[in-house]
Amino acid sequence: MSEKVKILYIDDEPDNLVGFKASLRLDYHILTAVNIPQAMSCLGNHPDIKVIFCDQRMPGTTGVEFFEEIRVSYPLPVRILLTAYTDVESIINAINRGNIFRYVKKPWTEADIVSAIDEANKFYMANSMLAIKNDELQKAYNELNKFAYSVSHDIRGPLSGILGAINIAREIDDVEEMREMLFLMEKSLKKLDTYIISMHDYYSLQRGELKITDIDFTKLLDELKPIYSVFSKTSQVEFNIQINQQEVFRSDEVPLKLIFNNLLSNAFKYQDKKRSNKSVDVTVDVQKSMATIYIKDTGIGILGSHIGEIFNLFYRANSQEVGSGFGLYNVKSALLKLNGQIEVNSVMHQGTTFKVTIPSI
Amino acid sequence: MELSFIVIDDSELDCFIARKIIEHTDANLHVKTFQNAQLALETIRENDAVDSDAITIILLDLQMPLMNGFEFVEEFEKLPPEVKKMYMVVVVSSTRNNKDIFRILTYRAVHSRLEKPLTREKLLSLIAEARSR
């Protein structure tokens, strides 16, 4: 069985506390308090208390008043009132003001308490699951909203461009002019295709199991290198790769490649065009089952105030180049899957360095 | 009246299409295209020769990097009234987001909004409106 359910019992008569603890301590983790201040400090020290039993009749504050107070400050624990008095007035108060889960009559029997705890625990678990699901739903909903917003621009934009081009193609007789237009249409379609591929990456990262294999970083980067060498040549950006791997590294190749691809294409894309000596440096160092990857560029840099947001979906800190706003978000999701970390260091007009650490699985 | 066009759109293809449609509609129409709204704004600012008999239609995209359509209009509205009078700002966008469309139409400098793609029919009705101004 997992950990014992943590229970707090408040009663101004120490004998009651002792009796309660004695009969239930084997099955539950029992905490007791003889007055309200003690109970409050106990709640502060144990945020994982799941059920609170409280006596109604106490000097100063009543059980109902206490529950009414903690409903706001400690909403999670399930509240159960213990009382010898069964007048309707106090029951109504307990329900309406204290918002209690159950009402146990004094003197209690062990069976009453055990069944109350069982039900309260189920209620507590259902509530916390609901809270987690709610958070997940809220997040998914926010992303869906962003999606809907981006769809009209990032998908409809290129499509309407191509539609417009087809419209005027009927009036173009000049072959050169036609070729120029076809070239631009191709560019638009490629942009759309990139968007859809990133969207697919985004989706498959949210689902799917990991496929763990042995990773040879030299081989992995050899596969990626040709994509960037073309760019490296045409834009005169030096591309250096340094790998130090003596040991076996196990991970999933697909998210790993996605991380490299996104960080590398950003490193090339956001180069400072005016600058000479442009470069992209990749170093991979595998030590003690941990891969440390640096991707360093001599690019335009990221403004300090934007750094906190660059990993957000559809966020774009700079607009020198066309971007979908998916890239770094996907990197972060991939790292989450691989249990990795990422750090950014950037100086405006000097360059950006991403440091990625991934444990072998 | 002399009529000319400024096209502001970060998409190269959309700039090309707008230029072709305008030129094919009337070869005498003058067109300038900008993929960067900031550059367009600077060009407008520098051209301070006030000509009451000329009008330039600005075809403006909304979602653009660096300076988007909203930012462009905000800057444009700060220009002197006699300069603003020489231009007619028409938003040309692919967005279906009503909030964006409504927001851009609240600017006094924005004449109207067209949905992409730009076609000859849409252009002809724009020209007619500009001439009747």
CA A234 to chain centre: 38
**CB-CB under 8 Å, B64 with A167:** no
Structure-token pair, residue B56: 């330039």
pLDDT along chain A (361 residues), means of 10: 84 92 92 94 93 91 91 92 81 86 89 93 92 87 78 81 89 89 89 82 74 90 82 82 92 88 87 85 92 91 78 64 72 87 89 92 85
Instruction: Report how far residue A82's alpha carbon sits from residue A10's, in angstroms, rounded to the nearest whole number.
Output: 9
Reported CATH class of domain A212-359:
alpha beta
- Residue A112 makes CB contacts below 8 A (sequence gap 6+) with A104, A105
Name which of A147, A150, A153, A162 to mutate to probe chain B: the one with the most chain B Cβ atoms within 10 A of its Cβ.
A153
Four-way CATH pick for A6-108: 3.30.390.50, 3.30.420.40, 3.90.930.12, 3.40.50.2300? 3.40.50.2300
Instruction: Report how far residue A327's alpha carbon sits from residue A197's, in angstroms, rounded to the nearest whole number.
Output: 11
What pLDDT, on a 0 to 100 scale, did the predictor assign at position B47? 81
Instruction: Report how far residue A314's alpha carbon sits from residue A263's, in angstroms, rounded to the nearest whole number.
Output: 16
Residues of A within 8 A of B117 (CB-CB) are: 160-161, 163-164, 167
Does the CB of A141 have a partner CB in chain B at under 8 Å? no
| Strand-strand pairing, A51-55 and A6-10 | parallel
Question: Alpha carbon of B95 to those of A189, A331, B57: distances in Å?
Answer: 18, 28, 21
b or e along A203-237 (b: 16 or more beta carbons within 10 Å of the residue's beta carbon)? eebeeeeeeeeebebeebbeeeeeebeebbeeeeb
What ipTM, to 2 d.p.?
0.80
Structure-token pair, residue B102: 């409504």
Q: Which CATH number is B2-131 given?
A: 3.40.50.2300
Residues of B within 8 A of A185 (CB-CB) are: 13
The DSSP string of A269-282 is: HTB-TT-SSEEEEE
Q: What is the pLDDT of residues B91-123, one digit of tens each?
A: 998 877 788 888 999 999 999 999 888 888 999
Torsion of CA B45, B46, B49, B55, to 10 degrees: -50
Inform me whether the pLDDT recorded for B125 exceeds 90. yes
A167, A318, A322 member nearest B119 (Cβ): A167
**CB-CB under 8 Å, A157 with B63:** yes
Query: Could you tell me which chain B residue has the CA closest to the CA of A325?
Result: B65
A162, A168, A185 member nearest B21 (Cβ): A168
- Residue A158 makes CB contacts below 8 A (sequence gap 6+) with A188, A189, A191, A192, B11, B13
Residues facing residue A55 across a β-bridge: A82
Residue A78: name the closest of A55, A44, A56, A49 by CA.
Answer: A49
**CB-CB under 8 Å, B95 with A153:** yes
Burial of A87 (0-12, 13-18, 19+ CB in 10 A): exposed
A149, A157, A180 member nearest B94 (Cβ): A157
CA distance B111 to chain A (A): 22
What pLDDT, on a 0 to 100 scale, did the predictor assign at position A49? 94
Instruction: Report how far residue A45's alpha carbon sits from residue B109's, in angstroms, rounded to the nearest whole number.
Output: 61
Residue A284: name the closest of A339, A334, A244, A250 by CA.
Answer: A244
CA distance A173 to chain B (A): 11
Type of residue found at A276: S
B10, B16, B94 member nearest A160 (Cβ): B94
The CB-side HSE value for A184 (13 A sphere, CA atoms) comes to: 23
Residue A332: name the closest of A255, A267, A264 by CA.
Answer: A255
Instruction: Report how far residue A254's alpha carbon sits from residue A200's, in angstroms, rounded to the nearest whole number.
Output: 13
What pLDDT, on a 0 to 100 scale, did the predictor assign at position A321? 55
Q: SS3 of A289, please?
A: coil
Residue A330: name the closest of A230, A201, A223, A162 by CA.
Answer: A201
Name which of A160, A173, A270, A319 to mutate to probe chain B: the one with the most chain B Cβ atoms within 10 A of its Cβ.
A160
**CB-CB under 8 Å, B66 with A319:** yes
CA distance A48 to chain B (A): 44
**CB-CB under 8 Å, A171 with B24:** yes
Structure-token pair, residue A68: 């009414």
CA distance B9 to chain A (A): 11
The alpha-carbon radius of gyration of chain B (Å, integer) is: 14
What pLDDT, on a 0 to 100 scale, did the predictor assign at position B64? 81
Does the CB of A174 have a partner CB in chain B at under 8 Å? no
Q: What is the pLDDT of residues B20-78, one digit of tens each?
A: 999 988 888 999 999 989 899 999 988 867 777 889 999 999 888 778 899 999 999 99
Q: Output phi, psi for A165, to 5 deg.
A: -65, -40
Helix axes B12-25, A175-206, angle to 10 degrees: 150
Does the CB of A189 have a partner CB in chain B at under 8 Å? no
Instruction: Report how far residue A188's alpha carbon sits from residue A157's, in angstroms, rounded to the nearest whole number.
Output: 9
Helices marked H in chain A? 14-24, 36-45, 63-73, 88-96, 110-150, 156-169, 175-206, 217-234, 253-269, 304-307, 327-338
Name which of B13, B15, B91, B103 to mutate to probe chain A: the one with the most chain A Cβ atoms within 10 A of its Cβ.
B13
Residues of B within 8 A of A322 (CB-CB) are: 10, 65
**CB-CB under 8 Å, B116 with A160:** yes
Residues of A within 8 A of B66 (CB-CB) are: 319-320
- How many CB atoms are closer than 10 A to CB A252? 19
Type of residue found at A46: H
H or E segment at A345?
Answer: strand A341-347
Let me know: does A6 contact A46? Beta carbons within 8 Å.
yes
Burial of A264 (0-12, 13-18, 19+ CB in 10 A): buried
Q: SS3 of B54, please?
A: strand
A–B interface: beta-carbon pairs under 8 A: 76
Let me know: does A119 contact A80? Beta carbons within 8 Å.
no
Structure-token pair, residue A305: 């105030």
Residues of A within 8 A of B20 (CB-CB) are: 168, 171-172, 177, 181
Residues of A within 8 A of B118 (CB-CB) are: 164
CA distance A271 to chain B (A): 16
Does the CB of A165 have a partner CB in chain B at under 8 Å? yes
Residue whose token pair is 């109970």: A39
